[in-house]
Amino acid sequence: MTVSISRRNFLFASAAVGGGLYLGLSPEPAGAAEAGQLNAWVVIPATGRIRIMASNPEVGQGIRTSLPMVIAEELDADWGAVEIVPTIADAKAYGRQVAGGSQAMPTHYENMRRIGAAARAMILDAAAAAWGVPLAELKTDRGQVIHGQRRAPYGQFAAAASALPAPDPARVAVKDPKDFRLIGSFQPGVNNRAIVSGRQDYGIDAVVPGMIHAAFHKSGVQRATVKSANLDAVKAMPGVRDAFIVPASDEYEGLLGGVAILADTTWHAARARNALQVEWNDSPAAFQSSAAWASQATQAKGKPPALAVHAAGDVPAAMAGAAKRLAATYEYPFIPHLPLEPINCTARVTGDRVEIWAPTQNPEPGRAAVAKTLGVPPENITIHMMRVGGGFGRRLQNDYMVEAAQIARMAGRPVKLTWTREDDVTQDFLRPGGWHHLEAGLDAAGRCIAWDNHFISFGRDGKFARAAGIAPSDFPAGMVDHFRLGATVLPLIHTTGFLRAPGNNAFGFVTQGFIDELAHAAGKDPLVFRRELLGAARIIGDPSSRGSYNTGRMRAVLDKAAAMAGWGRKLAPRTGLGIAFHFSHLGYFANVIEASVARDGTVKVHHVWVAGDVGRQIVNPAGAINQVQGSVLDALNACRNHAVTFADGAIEQRNFGDLPLLRMDEAVPIDVAFLTPDYAVTGLGEPAYPAVAPALANAIFAATGVRLRKLPFDFSALKA
């Protein structure tokens, strides 16, 4: 097996208090000099439980279980007896601590194996010396060293092991995967017992001595600054301790201005807010209007795109020579994240030191932003990464961390800032909406030979906003001989951000819906047409880049999903099977959905079959299946009422009443199968999402002959 470690890393060992072994990983060979308990990955004390650090933010993806499992596997620790210890944010010690991009597993998997294996090797070296026996005669079993009939716990050798030189991680022997006992087994989350007992602290549960509760009121039209506010009236409300104006930063995406209200409880602060009256200065975002954007996007059809993103071959000539041409416009709205734990953060500012308790997916940019806003050194900021009650990408942005720190400084005491659900909806970093004016050409054999896409999305000064862009390599680039992708950017001020499978969560719907149309235009079965489009097994694009596309891996999951669903079988009237595939975040996914459509237009999803390939190893099937099933149902949310609209510069929706989410009675059966070809292990938080909405649209077409090209779906179009 080949192993690549992207960056040279050095293991260091040092002694634990009371005699024991700390083992850590450092980019510097001198890491050991500054080592110690704080940045160790594994601590094996002389007596007591082995401790394994959980370094990454936990948002429900199970990473505080799955990465420690990798260490425990190679360490051969007793999983039931280890203690999992969440760490603070410390990129120097722990590398990339991000819950985003489905990258935690690909970033850390091989390193975690080596840390576990190195610790075990050092314990064995120390045991061989202590017992005076050849190393080769020693075995381990769940935290014990074994020689013949003799057994002793690792801790007995930990002090001696800590004096040994740490091995070169690249040379540490790791297990043959066929010998894995823990990796690949169904392991419930390590915090489950605390969660079901009400003992698990989330960010919103942080309590700091002397803290006060804050509400922060901002304009729904972002970047409007406060002209005046009736602060005296608000301060007179029961339970209110203070109220003040927080000045806005001049920077785009800097601190938004508003009014902070400090009170004895969250409820007192929220109630006082009802009495607040603010006069706002004009905002540059006042022009924002969904109706105006829709009209601009429609007018752009047929006009040349403002930006050329990618071109291959000769699209106009190929279109002119095509046996058949097809044009369609696909569109999708802004959508919100809606993490169930409302946005919150607790902060304590003492002189030039800041301590933060934050549910964050990405602490380091938050540290930088707090340092800049408060003018304190980044190293003076301690960030406790609280368990996150849902991320979905929202908490990759740390605006609330900056707000809490600034308000705490102005208040002169620790502050817990809690947003309302209405704040969350109206101040979200939205998944940008978009339009795709598509045209494709088929040759006489029904092959797709030309693909032209005028993509319309959002940004400022002609540049895409965050998560609004499209990559030149995006599917189906490289699979169609004549390919052109251009873009036009509509103006937007409101914040946008990453939402589960950014970009892909919309592009999957667009491309896999249009491909279905092409299949039918070509008179081919949608599965057969897709196989032909993917073509022979090969890698498209630079194999070392994240965008490179292995058509063989996609073919395999496509065929697997079709087989699971019984593709081609006879169905009841107004019932259809839809198929779709999508590659994103290094994961290959295909799925088939069976749906029926009642005469009143009601759509019932009967079953979803998902086949995925995220490399040679599923680390923890418990978390993995949860991620896929959750992604599927999340994507079904986007097919229904999941849309945010703007009028007069502000978001019109407020709470779950305006943005209904799937509930128990709408949860559908989802079968999940993983293919595990011999490729690197990659992540699962996102790639199962993008192919869901198109599979449903395609199933609805199969059932009714009505093609849905707009998210959320207009079910009234399906009435018979």
Partner 1 sequence: MKLNINGKLVEVAADPDMPLLWALRDLLGLTGTKFGCGAGFCGACTVQLDGEPVRGCQTPVSAVGTARITTIEGLSASAWGRKLQDAWVALDVPQCGYCQAGQLLAAEALLRATPKPTDADIDAAMSGNLCRCATYTRIRAAIKQAAAA
Q: Which residues contact partner 1 by CB under 8 A?
A: 59-62, 186-189, 191-193, 195-202, 204-205, 207, 213, 238-239, 264-268, 270, 338-342, 387-392, 418, 420-421, 622-623, 626-627, 629-630, 632-634, 655-657, 661-665, 667, 669-670
Give the whole-angstrom CA distance, residue 350 versus residue 355.
8
Contact indicator for 126, 707 with CB cutoff of 8 Å:
no
Q: Closer to partner 1 by CB, 252 or 267: give it.
A: 267
Give the whole-angstrom CA distance, residue 495 versus residue 430.
7
What is the closest distance, in whole angstroms, from the C-beta atom of residue 22 to partner 1 in the complex?
30
What is the closest distance, in whole angstroms, from the C-beta atom of residue 673 to partner 1 in the complex?
15
Q: Closer to partner 1 by CB, 62 or 106: give it.
A: 62
Q: Closer to partner 1 by CB, 486 or 623: give it.
A: 623
Q: Closer to partner 1 by CB, 484 or 585: give it.
A: 585
Q: Closer to partner 1 by CB, 251 or 264: give it.
A: 264
Q: How far is CA 78 from the centre of its chain?
A: 30
114: three-class secondary structure by DSSP: helix
Q: Closer to partner 1 by CB, 212 or 540: give it.
A: 212
What is the closest distance, in whole angstroms, from the C-beta atom of residue 659 to partner 1 in the complex?
9
Q: Closer to partner 1 by CB, 169 or 391: give it.
A: 391
Residue with tokens 């599979």: 695
Q: Closer to partner 1 by CB, 568 or 669: give it.
A: 669
Single out the residue of 333, 310, 293 nearest to residue 643, CA to CA.
Answer: 333
What is the closest distance, in whole angstroms, from the C-beta atom of residue 162 to partner 1 in the complex?
35
Identify the bridge partners of residue 609 per DSSP, sorted by sequence position. Answer: 592, 671
Q: Closer to partner 1 by CB, 6 or 197: give it.
A: 197
What is the closest distance, in whole angstroms, from the C-beta atom of residue 340 to partner 1 in the complex?
4
What is the closest distance, in whole angstroms, from the C-beta atom of residue 57 to partner 1 in the complex?
11
Per the omega criterion (within 30 degrees of 0), is the bond before 476 cis? Answer: yes
Give the whole-angstrom CA distance, residue 415 versus residue 216.
11
Query: Within a 10 A sphere around the Cβ of 194, how many other Cβ atoms?
Result: 13
- Give, to the nearest 10 degrees, the angle between helix 504-521 and helix 526-534: 110
Q: Classify strands 258-263 and 240-246 as parallel, antiparallel or unpaired.
A: antiparallel
Burial class (CB in 10 A: 0-12, 13-18, 19+), 33: exposed
Q: Closer to partner 1 by CB, 184 or 239: give it.
A: 239
Q: How far is CA 593 from the centre of its chain?
A: 24
Give the whole-angstrom CA distance, residue 261 versus residue 276.
9
Give the whole-angstrom CA distance, residue 269 versus residue 278.
16
What is the closest distance, in whole angstroms, from the C-beta atom of residue 188 to partner 1 in the complex?
4
- Helices then strands, counting H and E runs in the chain, come out as 17, 31
Give the whole-angstrom CA distance, residue 634 versus residue 640.
10
Q: Closer to partner 1 by CB, 215 or 562: give it.
A: 215
Q: From its phi and psi, is residue 510 left (phi > 0), alpha (psi between -120 and 50) or beta? A: alpha
What is the closest distance, in whole angstroms, from the C-beta atom of residue 663 to partner 1 in the complex?
4
Q: Closer to partner 1 by CB, 527 or 636: give it.
A: 636
Contact indicator for 63, 187 with CB cutoff of 8 Å:
no
* Residue 171 phi, psi dihedral angles, 5° rounding: -105, 0
Give the whole-angstrom CA distance, residue 634 versus residue 696.
13
DSSP letter at 247? P
What is the closest distance, in whole angstroms, from the C-beta atom of residue 72 to partner 1 in the complex?
17
Query: Within a 10 A sphere around the Cβ of 283, how many other Cβ atoms?
Result: 18
Burial class (CB in 10 A: 0-12, 13-18, 19+), 295: exposed
What is the closest distance, in whole angstroms, from the C-beta atom of residue 271 to partner 1 in the complex?
8
Q: Closer to partner 1 by CB, 60 or 116: give it.
A: 60
What is the closest distance, in whole angstroms, from the C-beta atom of residue 626 to partner 1 in the complex?
5
What is the closest distance, in whole angstroms, from the C-beta atom of residue 431 to partner 1 in the complex?
15
What is the closest distance, in whole angstroms, from the C-beta atom of residue 632 to partner 1 in the complex?
8
Residue with tokens 């292995």: 550
Give the whole-angstrom CA distance, residue 590 versus residue 588.
7
